[in-house]
Amino acid sequence: MKSLLTLSRALLLFATAAAGGAQAGERLNWGWFNAAPFMMVAGPDHNQGVFDQIRALLREQMPDYEHQDIQAPFPRILQEIRNGNAWCFVGGVKTPAREALAHFSAPVAVFLPFKAVVRKDRLAEFGDSVSLAALLDDKALKTSFLRGRTHTPPIDALLQQAPSPSYHSEFNEALQMLLARRLDYLVEQPIISAYSARQLGRDGELAALPIRESSEFTLSRVMCPRNEWGLRVVRRVNAVLRAERDGARYRAIVERWSDPDAVRAIRAIYPTHVMQPE
């Protein structure tokens, strides 16, 4: 076993050298924010989120960089990457618009389909599933979207057509507004809304309804600036992913915090989509 581990590390170091190493002490800023259970900036589960643990694994396997975690709203992280600064982000979704400003790694994890999250005591108003187009057209209903976020192409297309959507900068900000009845629904991933509601002592008060226009999952990746520095970092990240992504430790990170139904969905997607080569 020890010889196999030694060989694995040697192969990873070889891949790292081939990808182009960092200069000694080169700074790498990892932007992050509170989006539990993907990123957890405080509380008993601090740094135990899916992306937190992937970020920790990358730090461990890329020791020649000086890693710095910087808590910042996602719009600032995106702006730092757009400006070509030494920032990267674990959890970015690749889109044509973002590819113009960032390099993306191979997939690191999967986002299961977005749903419409509502208060359970209002389920009768919404039914078993919803049309997001109809919700956005209903001027009596209020919602809010995370600024700079990418959902799925159908959802993003509907949002672009909406006359004047409202935006927020922090995940919990909108969730608290929903629980306080200041918003009527959110477009969110159930894993995020359910975890956050539990942390607020409001477990069981929310329901997640399928959105008829979109049942797609999305793949999350590491995104870095679209320059030579960012390309070098992404190549290093991909070398780590090749060595780690199909191992039990990594797969446990990806599945953590998911309920049994979500774990089954992730395992069905993982071999054919998450394990995509870069």
Which band of pLDDT confidence, cut at 50, 70 and 90, is reported for residue 277?
Answer: confident
**Judgement on whether residues 75 and 120 belong to the same structural domain of the protein:** no
Average confidence score pLDDT of the chain: 90
Domain boundary among 175, 210, 245: 210
Segment 265-271 shows an average pLDDT of 95
**Judgement on whether residues 31 and 129 belong to the same structural domain of the protein:** no
- Structural domain of 134: 115-210
Q: Return the higher-pLDDT residue of 146 and 64.
A: 64
Give the contacts of 107 (CB within 8 A, at least 6 positions apart).
219, 220, 221, 273, 274, 275, 276
**Judgement on whether residues 193 and 229 belong to the same structural domain of the protein:** no
Look-up: residue for tokens 């629980």?
179
Percentage of the chain beyond pLDDT 70 is 91
State both tokens at 153: 């192409």
State both tokens at 84: 């070509």
Which band of pLDDT confidence, cut at 50, 70 and 90, is reported for residue 24?
Answer: low
Which band of pLDDT confidence, cut at 50, 70 and 90, is reported for residue 170?
Answer: confident
**Judgement on whether residues 129 and 200 belong to the same structural domain of the protein:** yes
Which band of pLDDT confidence, cut at 50, 70 and 90, is reported for residue 215?
Answer: confident
Number of folded domains in the chain?
A: 2
What Rg, from alpha-carbon coordinates, does the chain have? Answer: 19
Segment 26-31 shows an average pLDDT of 96
CA 64, CA 125: separation in Å to the nearest integer?
Answer: 55
CATH number for the domain that contains residue 198: 3.40.190.10
pTM score: 0.81
pLDDT in tens, 5-21: 444 444 544 444 444 56
Q: What angle do CA 33, 132, 175 make, to 5 degrees?
A: 35
**Sequence-separated contacts (24+) of 51-57 with Cβ below 8 Å:** 51/90, 51/91, 51/108, 51/109, 51/220, 53/253, 53/256, 54/90, 54/108, 54/109, 54/250, 54/253, 55/30, 55/90, 57/240, 57/244, 57/250, 57/253
pLDDT in tens, 178-200: 999 999 999 999 999 999 898 88
Domain boundary among 210, 230, 246: 210
